[in-house]
Amino acid sequence: MLPKEKWKKAWEWKKLLAEKKTSPKEICEEYLKRAEQDKTNAFIKLTPEWARGVAQSVSQDSQDVMSGIPIGLKDNLVTKGIETTCGSKILQNYKPPYDGTVVKKLKDLQAVVIGKCNLDEFAMGSSNENSAYGSVSLPQKENYVPGGSSGGSAAAVAGGLVVHALGSDTGGSVRQPASFCGVVGLKPTYGRVSRYGLVAFASSLDQIGPLALDVQDCADMYDSIAGYDPLDSTSANRKNESCGLRVREVRESKSKRDEKLKSLTVGLPKEFFGEGLSDDVRASIDACIQKMRAKGVKFKEVSLPHSKFALPVYYVVAVSEASTNLSRYDGVRFGPRILPHENKTTLEEMYSATRGALFGPEVKRRILLGTFALSSGYYDAYYKKACQVRNLISQDFIRTFHDVDVILGPTTPTVSFEKGAKSNDPLSMYLSDIYTVPVNLAGVPAVSIPSGLGNHQLPVGLQIIGPSFSEPELLSAAATIESLLEE
Amino acid sequence: MSHPTYHGFEAVIGLEVHAQLSTNSKLFSSSPNAFGNSPNRNINPVCTAQPGALPVLNKKAVEYAVKAGLATNCEIRLRSIFARKNYFYPDLPKGYQISQFEHPICEKGWLDIEFEHEPEKKEQKRVGITRIHMEEDAGKSQHMSGYSLVDLNRAGTPLIEIVSEPDFRSSTEAVAYLKKLRAILQYLDVCDGNMQEGNFRCDANVSVRKIGAEKFGTRAELKNLNSFRFLEKAIEYEIQRQINVINSGGKVVQETRLYDSAKNITASMRSKEEAHDYRYFPDPDLPPLVIEKNYVEAIKKDLPELPDEKATRFVSAFGIPEYDAKVITSTKALASFYEGAVDHSANEPKLVSNWLMTEVLRKLKEDEKEIEDCPFTADKLGQLIQLIKSGEISSKIAKTVFEEMWLSGDSPKSIVEKKGLIQVSDPGAIEEAIRKVMQASPKQLADFRSGKDKLFGYFVGQVMKETQGKANPAMVNSLVMAFLKGEKS
């Protein structure tokens, strides 16, 4: 059973609220209760006071899709006065002096924030085993990973602890856990959602994205957070079109949906169906394709030839940016400070003791790699070269979208795996992002929706990729496929 | 052109100047860009590098950088890139400084400078400007015993770094360039140019080579040069030090050296091996800075009158000597003072220039002050000139009035009135004084009349003394003569 069959979606709650069959307070208490009894460790911190405060003041009749709806925030989203740890000891007890833009928007919309969700430290990881606050379990199967880095957000949605949640996606960190947990996750076009107040991992790749039970909720949440922000220089100054409305159209009219399916041209990149793709995932995706074909969807085999370089390029670009983004955690202005020799500690000793003790191994590995890649004499061979190849990867997508509306494939090569299975083998862990990483490098939007179940009855994710700034078309395509799969 | 030489060696010097831009807010945040507030007041999440905070470029700072580039004859790049310069220090909150590296906003400029290696031997030179780039300043650290304090008020303040070609051959040339550059930035109103407050700072790259050698010697970078005098002394010291090293068979090493003004020496701060690898790379938080040609043209059109143009105008419009014009236009404040005084002088620009060049500059030099510290305003100097011109006071009295203005800052009129210094031009009063003097000096009178003409001066002096110097000198002269000749009595 997929989470969306088990828990109420936001639009369902809104209906019940409109019919006065429940109240924001009741909804809030129901979710808080489940969150307090959570055994998956999805939260780093619960925020019941914040949640209750909003639930009490929000109007029963508020039309906005977010108002009164319990949500979770990945703990790398900055919340004023409320601990924001990034899953790291280096930000233990750090209370930011400001709200990020997205958090501010959700506050204004009176969303009910249940808590700050667990994550891999500084969003670096694919299994949520890299959190200083403990790993997160897959709600469907204990001792399995929920994916990462937005593992807590995905598990909270799948476990019914929140209605939907925000994550961040640098190389797949929203879509991969969405896929593992059987929920919907969107990585918007780079620049669509403000990064102001998102703790940076890799600035040119990071994007905040929603995790939800279905495409409708995902689209509604996206509408609430997207838009130009003058506080983020990489934010796109373009008009926003409502995705929620487009999805609603498809969902409410079967004929419209079928019409849309007939007009859809889908690209299947051969690079996403090759070696490394596990049989159960392949079977699930193939079954989807068959269903779609039967409804008249046109398929084309396409090629993204440079995507084979995506992982190495990603692990140069992302770690290089990360190595300097994380320089500010130095024990000087915030977070704990470690002085090994009390009164006689030198500055160098303070830096290395603080950073040495409070960063986890994966974060340190990436800082070292990034520092090396940017260092004098290596810059041209690594960072500069990686940026050039990144451009080629981006061109592959642009070219392909001349011929197809969307690109479709698996979100991840396998379903969720057991905790510990890959934690000592970073390279095999990195491979779980092989289909998601090219999307971040190209800056295009992509959504993962559940396609069915694979091994151990664990969810499989279908990734749909669109051209830059095509979220309305992308999400309405996702809604048609979702609706078809429900039949 | 004479080349200063140092016992067979020649010096090669280049300057790197950091000028703080006088924008209202910081380079990448809305925090106020202000000097003198109590510590850690002018800060916000961006300039304290809170997690998640992002930089947004200040448009005014771009305008100022373009102005500086145009005024120093640079090419303005329509696309420039901000880069991160990475190093750890407590007053550098992000652990990197946002700067420009590969693609700065201005390149390939020049400035003409004038200087004298020997008195009265004026020389000119065109100095190359390699580049001007924009960057943010760091905060300030204060080291106490056993701990340090960090003030982030300055963190994120906009700077331009102006890098010259290694075109200077002496400290004199370097100082002439630095003064000219400062004047230009002040004229543009983009930088206050106060070296003590640190909003105009300078590092010098110094090397020496045997005369005739093609290759540059190994250079040392000198820091902590926070006045023109220190720049001059540090360079001269360093040239001599490097020559001594070579002459005693040693090798100059590439290093950064700190100038110690108390001891007048430079001392090694860090060697090349200890130098940072700054790991420059384009800042992914800031897209390339793209400006339009029209924008640059509009700024160009609006550039104010710069020192050289102003000096030329002063010579032609006011008829003052070129030398005076150059001195007066050497700082914006001095030029404004002059123009302000001329405006109130009843059209006596030459007289104003004389008084400014002699009296005012002498006083400032004595007190080690700048024109900004002048105790009275420009209009008051103009009024003083008016009083002289109209004959209300003599030049001699004017000097007394000037001294009083220097002490009290009062207007010359009120000083003259208060002290009763108004020139006596009433013939009756002067004649009265002459009679008194003649009565008291029968011997001198007899001597004069018997042919000792030189005694004329004696009588004039006595009359001036009798009138406490207030008598109109021209009238005293003619009346004394009339009395001595017996035409009057």
Out of B48, B54, B150, name the one closest to residue A233 (CB).
Answer: B54
Task: Give the CA radius of gyration of chain B.
Answer: 30
Q: Is pLDDT of A404 > 60?
A: yes
pLDDT at B425 over 80: no
Mind giving me the DSSP string for A28-72?
Answer: HHHHHHHHHT-SS--EEEE-HHHHHHHHHHS-TT---TTTT-EEE
Nearest chain A residue (CA) to B91: A332
| Nearest CA distance, B146 vs chain A (angstrom) | 7
In order, the DSSP letters of B72-83 are TTPEEPSEE--E
pLDDT of residue B3: 59
Burial A352-365 (b: 16+ CB within 10 A, else e): ebbbeebbbebbee
Instruction: For residue A197, give the chain B residue with the closest CA.
Output: B52
Locate the chain B residue with the closest alpha carbon to A198.
B52
| pLDDT range class, residue B1, cuts 50, 70, 90 | very low
Side-chain half-sphere exposure of B134, counting CA atoms within 13 A: 31
Average confidence (pLDDT) over A334-360: 93
Across residues B279-290, what is the average pLDDT? 97
Instruction: Confirm if B100 and B134 have CB atoms less than 8 A apart.
Output: yes
A334: Cβ contacts below 8 Å, ≥ 6 apart: A91, A94, B50, B51
Residue B12 has pLDDT above 50, yes or no: yes
- In this prediction, residues B297-310 reach a mean pLDDT of 95
Per-residue pLDDT averaged across A207-219, rounded? 98
| d(C-alpha A314, C-alpha A435), whole Å | 12
Q: Compute the nearest-CA separation of A195 from chain B (Å).
A: 7
**Who among A76, A195, A324 is closest to B86 (CB)?**
A324
User: Which positions in chain B touch A202 (Cβ < 8 Å)?
Assistant: 284
Sort out which chain B residues have CB atoms less than 8 A from A104's CB and list them: none
Using CB atoms and an 8 Å cut-off, which of residues 325-384 of chain A contact chain B? 327-328, 330, 332-334, 343, 347, 351, 371, 374-376, 379, 383
Known catalytic residues of A?
A: 74, 149, 173
Spatial distance between the Cα atoms of A409 and A218, rounded to a whole number of angstroms: 19
Across the interface, whether the CB atoms of A231 and B57 are under 8 A apart is answered no
Indicate the SS3 state at residue B162.
Answer: strand
- In whole angstroms, how far apart are CA A77 and each of A153, A224, A395, B21, B268? 12, 16, 31, 34, 46
Q: Given B49, B279, B286, which is nearest A328 (Cβ)?
A: B49
Contacting residues of B for A324, CB less than 8 Å apart: 84, 86, 95-96, 279, 281
The whole-number pLDDT of residue A231 equals: 98
Q: Are A234 and B45 an interchain contact pair (Cβ–Cβ within 8 Å)?
A: no
pLDDT digits (tens, 9 = 90+) for B170-201: 999 999 999 999 999 999 999 999 888 889 99
- Residue A259 phi, psi dihedral angles, 5° rounding: -60, -45
Residues of chain B in contact with residue A195, where contact means CB-CB under 8 angstroms, are: 52, 54
Mean pLDDT of chain B: 91
State the nearest Cα–Cα gap between A199 and chain B, in angstroms. Answer: 4
Yes or no, beta carbons of B284 and A351 under 8 Å apart: no
pLDDT at A430: 86
Nearest CA in chain A to B85: A324
Nearest CA in chain A to B145: A343
Distance from CA of B383 to the nearest CA of A (A): 53
**What mean pLDDT is reported for chain A?**
96
| Average pLDDT rounded to a whole number, residues A55-75 | 94
Is the CB of B51 less than 8 angstroms away from the CB of A321?
Answer: no
For B281, which of A96, A232, A383 is closest by C-beta distance? A383
Does the pLDDT at position A259 exceed 70?
yes
Average pLDDT, integer, range B283-296: 97
Interatomic CA distance for residues B160 and B449, integer angstroms: 76
Question: Can you list the positions of beta strands (E) in B137-187?
Answer: 140-143, 148-151, 158-164
Q: How far is A92 from chain B (nearest CA, A)?
A: 13
How many whole angstroms separate alpha carbon B87 and alpha carbon B25? 24
Side-chain-side CA neighbours of residue A151 (13 Å): 35
Of the partner residues B56, B88, B277, the one whose CB lies closest to the CB of residue A231: B56
Lookup: tokens for A388: 């050039």
* C-alpha torsion angle, residues B429, B433, B434, B439 (rounded to 10): 140
Chain B nearest CA to A371, separation (Å): 8
Smallest Cβ–Cβ distance between B285 and the set A94, A234, A330 belongs to A234
Model confidence over B238-280: pLDDT tens digits? 999 999 999 999 999 999 999 998 999 999 888 776 778 999 9
Query: How is chain A split into domains, by residue range?
Result: 1-487
The three state secondary structure string of B255-295 is EEEEEECCCCEEEEEEECCCCCCCCCEECCCCCCEECCHHH
Among chain B residues, CA nearest to A373: B279
Q: Determine whether the interchain pair A233/B285 forms a contact, defined as Cβ–Cβ distance below 8 Å.
A: yes
Task: Choose the closest CB to B277 out of A96, A323, A376.
Answer: A376
Query: Tokens standing for A80?
Result: 């004023």
Domain spanning A1-487: CATH superfamily = Amidase signature (AS) domain (3.90.1300.10)
| A86 in contact with chain B, both atoms CB, cutoff 8 A | yes
Measured in angstroms, the CA of B327 and the nearest CA of chain A are apart by: 46
- pLDDT tens figures, B42-71: 999 999 999 999 999 999 999 999 999 999
CB neighbours of B146 closer than 8 A, spacing ≥ 6?
A: A343
Give the residue-averaged pLDDT of A330-354: 92
- Kindly determine whether residue A324 and residue B56, on different chains, have CB atoms separated by under 8 Å: no
Q: Determine if the peptide bond prior to A149 is cis (ω within 30°).
A: yes
What is the average per-residue pLDDT within B287-296?
Answer: 97
Minimum mean pLDDT range among A448-452, B29-33, B450-454? B450-454
- Would you say the ipTM is above 0.90? yes
Determine, for residues A320 and B281 on separate chains, whether the beta-carbon distance falls below 8 Å.
yes
Confidence band for B429, pLDDT divided at 50, 70 and 90: confident
pLDDT at A483 over 90: yes
CB contact under 8 A, A98 and B50: yes
Q: Which of B124-128, B289-293, B380-384 has the least mean pLDDT?
A: B380-384
Contacts of B448 (CB under 8 A, 6+ apart): B455, B456, B459, B484
pLDDT, tens digit, 9 for 90 and up, residues A22-64: 999 999 999 999 999 999 999 999 999 999 999 999 988 888 9
In the three-class reduction of DSSP (H, G, I as helix; E, B as strand; rest coil), residue A73 is classed as strand
Among chain B, residues having any CB pair with chain A shorter than 8 Å are: 45, 48-57, 84, 86, 88, 90, 93-96, 146, 150, 277, 279-281, 284-287
